Amino acid sequence: MRVGVPTEIKDHEDRVGLVPSSVAELVHHGHEVLVQKGAGDAAGLTDDQYVAAGARIAADADEIFRACDMVVKVKEPLAPERKKLRPGQVLFTYLHLAPDPEQTRELMQSGATAIAYETVTSPSGGLPLLTPMSEIAGRLAPQVGARYLERTSGGRGVLLGGVPGVPPADVVVLGGGVSGTHAATIALGMGAIVTVVDRSAEVLRRIAVQLPDARTIFSTRDALKEVVRRADLLIGAVLVPGAAAPKLVTREMVKSMKPASVIVDIAIDQGGCCETSKPTSHSHPVYVEEGVTHFCVTNMPGAVARTSTFALNNATLPFVLALADKGWRKAIAEDPHLRNGLNIHAGKVTCRPVAEALGLPYTAPDSLPA
């Protein structure tokens, strides 16, 4: 199979779909790999390293999309990239389709087969290709929040960890999953008072054992109102696999927050968990609404592109090899967890949460014609 890696074109998206060691594995398996010129530069990966691994350097994205059977990316294809996709071509990347009807429609129109990292599952019920980026986004969130709490960044002028005699900031983490756990870990390490809110008693028990210094609160509407009101930094880390994030924090709750407090909505890839959240970019990361600074960058891990690229490749490589070695049909037939990653094929939506979120007909992957 011919596998292509284009340069990411989303704002400040400096990650790359495959690292040289992953390219070498594909070449060892008998596949041809094309990498767009300069695709890895921002992650510290040179064209010479890719050539040494066995890749051929393509002049531009047009060559990648025209020549390759499978395109491996990091972020969802933007409109210019979607126009390059064609029937029979496999796209393997993060998609986050549930809150994005335009992307969904254009992927359906392309006729391509789109497999989403974020809906691939594991035997334990986890999301193995989402986990590494969730870990990174969670670890970044307190750093980002601490910066925007500084007065020079428009914040309240509060030091996250406080000092002797002056209390630290109140950090509230909504969701005790992968991102939430990592956010709480870093916030505690920075000296903040941390409260984790979740509607699963089992998750809260795990947090209590894993992070004994964190407070845990079962999520009810009344409880949310109270913790949001007192938060200096609110971190939204809510995930419903494949579906749009629930809007747990209402505009009225945001209005009740302290002036110049901060919201970091990690869930923005799936639409965000606050009514006041809207997507931002690394070039323009924040806006103020109801007196609260909102950080809603949809590709947070892109800020640490090198770490993120290697972490992502560690997770995706076995699936990339399976798709290349067997072809997508055989690969998903043999692996029900990879099958869960199939979101769109030949104009049909094959991921139930996406179909339900967008009001589109759902086609089960195992009902597709051979």
pLDDT above 90 for 232: yes
What integer is the mean pLDDT of 311-327? 98
Q: Tell me the per-residue pLDDT of 120-169, one tens digit each, with 9 for 90 and over.
A: 999 998 999 999 999 999 999 999 999 999 999 999 999 999 999 999 99
- Per-residue model confidence (pLDDT) at position 274: 97
- Per-residue model confidence (pLDDT) at position 318: 98
pLDDT above 80 for 317: yes
The pTM score is 0.92
- Per-residue model confidence (pLDDT) at position 6: 98
So what's the architecture of 2-119+305-367 in CATH?
A: 3-Layer(aba) Sandwich (3.40)
List the chain domain ranges. Answer: 2-119+305-367, 131-298
pLDDT-derived band at 38 (thresholds 50, 70, 90) equals: very high
- Per-residue model confidence (pLDDT) at position 242: 80
Mean pLDDT of the chain: 97
- Per-residue model confidence (pLDDT) at position 119: 96
Same CATH fold, 131-298 and 2-119+305-367? yes
Which member of 14, 100, 198, 269 is catalytic?
269
Q: Tell me the per-residue pLDDT of 336-365, one tens digit each, with 9 for 90 and over.
A: 999 999 999 999 999 999 999 999 999 999
Check: CB of residue 84 under 8 Å from CB of residue 62. yes
Nearest-angstrom CA–CA distance, 215 and 144: 21
Burial of 323 (0-12, 13-18, 19+ CB in 10 A): buried
Which member of 14, 31, 96, 170 is catalytic?
96
What integer is the mean pLDDT of 253-280? 97
- Per-residue model confidence (pLDDT) at position 243: 84
- Per-residue model confidence (pLDDT) at position 301: 96
Identify the CATH assignment for 131-298 out of 3.90.1310.10, 3.40.50.720, 3.40.50.300, 3.40.50.9100: 3.40.50.720
Q: Tell me the per-residue pLDDT of 179-189, one tens digit each, with 9 for 90 and over.
A: 999 999 999 99
- Per-residue model confidence (pLDDT) at position 362: 97
Q: Tell me the per-residue pLDDT of 8-32, one tens digit each, with 9 for 90 and over.
A: 999 999 999 999 999 999 999 999 9
pLDDT above 80 for 58: yes
Q: Tell me the per-residue pLDDT of 259-268, one tens digit each, with 9 for 90 and over.
A: 999 999 999 9
Amino acid at 357: A
Catalytic, 213? Answer no
pLDDT above 80 for 370: no
Q: Tell me the per-residue pLDDT of 61-114, one tens digit each, with 9 for 90 and over.
A: 999 999 999 999 999 999 999 999 999 999 999 999 999 999 999 999 999 999
Catalytic, 284? Answer no
